[in-house]
Structure 1
Amino acid sequence: MKSRGDQEWIVVRGMGSISGLGGTPEEVYASYTSGKTAFTNLSHLGIDTPVALISLAAENLLQDLVRENPIYASLDRSVQLAILAARQAVAQAGWTTDEELPVGINIGSSRGATGLFEHFHADFLKTPEKRLSPAVSPSTTLGNVASWVANDLQAQGPLISHSVTCSTALQAFANGVAWLKSGMAKRFLVGGTEAPLTPFTIAQMKSIGIYSKFRADENPCRPLNKEHNTFVLGEGAAVFALERMTQQEFEGLRREKAVVVAAVGMGYERSPSKTGISKEGLHFQAAMRDALQQANLSHADIDAIVLHAPGTKAGDAAEMNAILSIFGEDAVNFFSNKIQIGHTLGASGALSAEMGMGLLFSHFNASRLQGTIAPDTIQPTHLMVNAAGFGGNAASLILTLLAKENSIGY
């Protein structure tokens, strides 16, 4: 086993996000502190439907991006969100873009360019004899998420876009960590993006029978609610700048503490149906156990969990049963941002990780599902983030707050 002096860390050097919580870290933390929600009613087939749009300030940032480069106006909204979040992450990391940036990129999406795809397909159905624009194929492929982020950052390195439904962002973490630990890369951008507030996508969620019946002003998304399905779609993106650092490099950081990726566990269970899940949450159990084993931690070391809990009765109950199986009756602090921004599908794990970062650094008063906790009430050291998706897959990320050797708290 390596001594601490020989240790290498996967350090979170920076992060960026665009969501209903805001478009800058200051706005995001203020939203968490105030408990602000992003829900509004969108007319869908003549019915008011709650959704979570990005904040007005974040929308202004997106429109500035579109005006900045005419080509960006032709990109899907999911790609535009990813570019904005990636720029923030790189800037916060202090990675220079004066020259070509040696960095890998893995940014995924559950649905991809659904807005453009629905638009182009609707036009095709109206006039199928009309020749399609040659831009249709390259602008609707999933791969254009990572490639356009790389283009914007002038980055050089492996480019990966993928979809593992709602586990997408956490599996991007796993892939980035694997590249970094293998020595095949020094820096990696990982995360997820989603812009699913389109007629066809909303209709798909409603067809499953999980969409919330509550209006936007009635707290429509209610994780761990045992009486109703309260799933609400939201849009957003979050990207993290990961860097492999030696102990000497870590000690050279200007800040006294940093967050490292301790583990990313994976789980799978044979799903009883295309959307089904076992009552025991076997995939959650497998992912959490895998993460704890990788990090060489026991369940007692985990101070808090940011839940997947999208507001579906069966899914939320399965996750809690899985946590009970792993943690027993031990007290664990549960958190969720879906009560504020709904479920952002492939971006949700990354936005949950952002919430976890804020908890680790005590940046805000977090809304706990059972009440409110002040910043000095909890100071987690090891925090777990859960995500799961269709098909029986799950992932669990463990983030650890690490202090320098000469600092209190390591």
Structure 2
Amino acid sequence: MEKLPKPIKYPHLCRPKNQGLRIHIHGRGSISAAGQHPVAAWETYLSGQPTWKKTPDASLPVYPVEPDPNAPAYRYAAERKHGRTAMLAIMAAEQAVREAGWEDQDFAILVGCSRGPTGEWEKHFTEFSATGRLETRTSPSTTLGSIGFALGEYFGNRSLASSLSVTCSSGMHALLHGIALLEAGMADRVLVGGAEAPLTAFTLQQMQALRIYATRPAAGQHACTPLAKTPSGMVIGEGAAFLALSRLPRHLPSGPNLSNTLPSITGLGFSRESGKTATGISPEGDGLLAAMKMATDGRHLPDLIIAHAPGTPKGDAAEIRAVRKLWKNVPGDPALTSLKWATGHTFGASGPLALDAAISMMVHQKAIYLPYPNYMNTPWALGAVMVNATGFGGNAVSVRLEMKP
């Protein structure tokens, strides 16, 4: 049998041009178990208090969102019978667009989601199994694309409105694609982020089948403990976060929760590995290491890394090994943290939620420490922060933020 030729590699096409990269963040929005918006989430992070709830049968911990039913975005989603994933996406995206002042502007939309509108899919499949019949709008409401379409409809934009899935790094891949549009001159403004509503019996059973789900802790204890000396296991949550991005700077008004500028994106890294594990992530975290090196691109290491760290023993250990390799021959230990103790693992929304937390830390110049025994070192300053995300298939993304005028 004739052997296939080896694929041609084009390094100049496979690496982002981080030299001189500066993508400006004009606005942000988020919703999660930590809070209905970035300010509320910041207060939760500062408090260090547990935010998890019990599933209806009280068997498992989860991190649900309790959205404000009076919020205009919530009412809009309810009136149009959008699923929960689209509803969370609209609520977070509306905050970012409003802060950016883009209400009357056109912009491209890219949203990442690991599971898609799984709640809608499961509801309609259950209906079909019982009756053999389906509602008219079953097909469009159960596609991954329905999330992007819902956002495009809400904002009335005429530019691209797209959804994509790369498992738990979906939201970060949406950011990569959005920045590619900006750098190629195919868009002047992009709204990028992730949304996820996976708190369904089917999804919970999938995580239990992987044997990585945490047990329910005692009241007052944290359910998910990423980077802990004894990791808890994964606990899933729901949420969404979005960033309004452009190559043009915008100065925001000063206020109690904002500086006059937000940090910029100055480095991107991505990689894929084929580790012989269920997740595709190698024990040494080789894909994450490659992504972090690409995002750093020969510059000084970040002051803080917000790890993907899902709270699983193997996943956390692989990332810690990768970070220590990045810090090889550098004095001192790396500063690592995670916010999944407050949000749970929100799959495709986890990367954007971590970026939102990173922005808050940089604006306030205050790192959020893990509220339980851990390996975290204390950063001296927060001039540069890197956020990691990885997922099934060994797909890893690292994004570097810098607080420069």
Work out whether the TM-score is over 0.5: yes
**TM-score, length of structure 1 as denominator length:** 0.86
**1:46-85 alignment to 2 at 5 Å?**
46=57, 48-54=59-65, 56=66, 58-60=67-69, 65-68=73-76, 71-72=79-80, 74-85=81-92
Amino acid at match of 1:318: A
**1:357-372 alignment to 2 at 5 Å?**
357-362=359-364, 366-368=368-370
What secondary structure, in the 3-state scheme, does the structure 2 residue paired with 1:234 have?
Answer: coil
1:406 matched residue in structure 2 = none
Larger fraction in helix: 1
**Matched residues in 2 for 1:369 and 1:325: separation?**
26
Candidates 244, 247, 254, aligned match of 2:247: 244
Relative to 1, partners in 2 of residues 1:381 and 1:199: Cα closer, same or farther, differing over 3 Å?
same
Amino acid at match of 1:266: F
Amino acid at match of 2:34: L
Structure 1, unpaired ranges of 5+: 1-6, 404-410
**Matched residues in 2 for 1:268 and 1:239: separation?**
24
**1:247-286 alignment to 2 at 5 Å?**
249=249, 256-286=260-290
What secondary structure, in the 3-state scheme, does the structure 2 residue paired with 1:215 have?
Answer: coil
Q: Is the 8 A contact 2:323 2:334 kept in 1?
A: no
1:307 matched residue in structure 2 = 307
Deviations 1:321-358 (A, max 9, x none): 00011112533221111111210000000001111101
What secondary structure, in the 3-state scheme, does the structure 1 residue paired with 2:320 have?
Answer: helix
Is 1:86 the counterpart of 2:93? The answer is yes
**1:33-48 alignment to 2 at 5 Å?**
33-43=46-56, 46=57, 48=59
Percent sequence identity over matched residues?
Answer: 36
What secondary structure, in the 3-state scheme, does the structure 2 residue paired with 1:175 have?
Answer: helix
Instruction: Give the length in aligned residue pairs.
Output: 375
> Considering only aligned residues, what root-mean-square deviation do their CA atoms show, in Å?
2.2
1:155, distance to aligned residue in structure 2 (A): 1.4
Is 1:234 the counterpart of 2:237? The answer is yes
Deviations 1:73-120 (A, max 9, x none): x211010000011110011111133xxx32010011000101111111
Amino acid at match of 1:322: A
Larger fraction in strand: 1
Relative to 1, partners in 2 of residues 1:253 and 1:350: Cα closer, same or farther, differing over 3 Å?
closer
Deviations 1:36-57 (A, max 9, x none): 33201113xx551100011x4x
Candidates 14, 22, 25, aligned match of 2:35: 22
2:168 matched residue in structure 1 = 166
1:197, distance to aligned residue in structure 2 (A): 0.4
**Matched residues in 2 for 1:38 and 1:120: separation?**
31
What secondary structure, in the 3-state scheme, does the structure 2 residue paired with 1:402 have?
Answer: coil
**TM-score, length of structure 2 as denominator length:** 0.87
**1:123-202 alignment to 2 at 5 Å?**
123-128=127-132, 130=133, 132-202=134-204
Amino acid at match of 1:22: G
1:224, distance to aligned residue in structure 2 (A): 2.2
1:21, distance to aligned residue in structure 2 (A): 1.2
What secondary structure, in the 3-state scheme, does the structure 2 residue paired with 1:343 have?
Answer: coil
**Matched residues in 1 for 2:319 and 2:299: separation?**
20
Structure 2, unpaired ranges of 5+: 1-19, 255-259
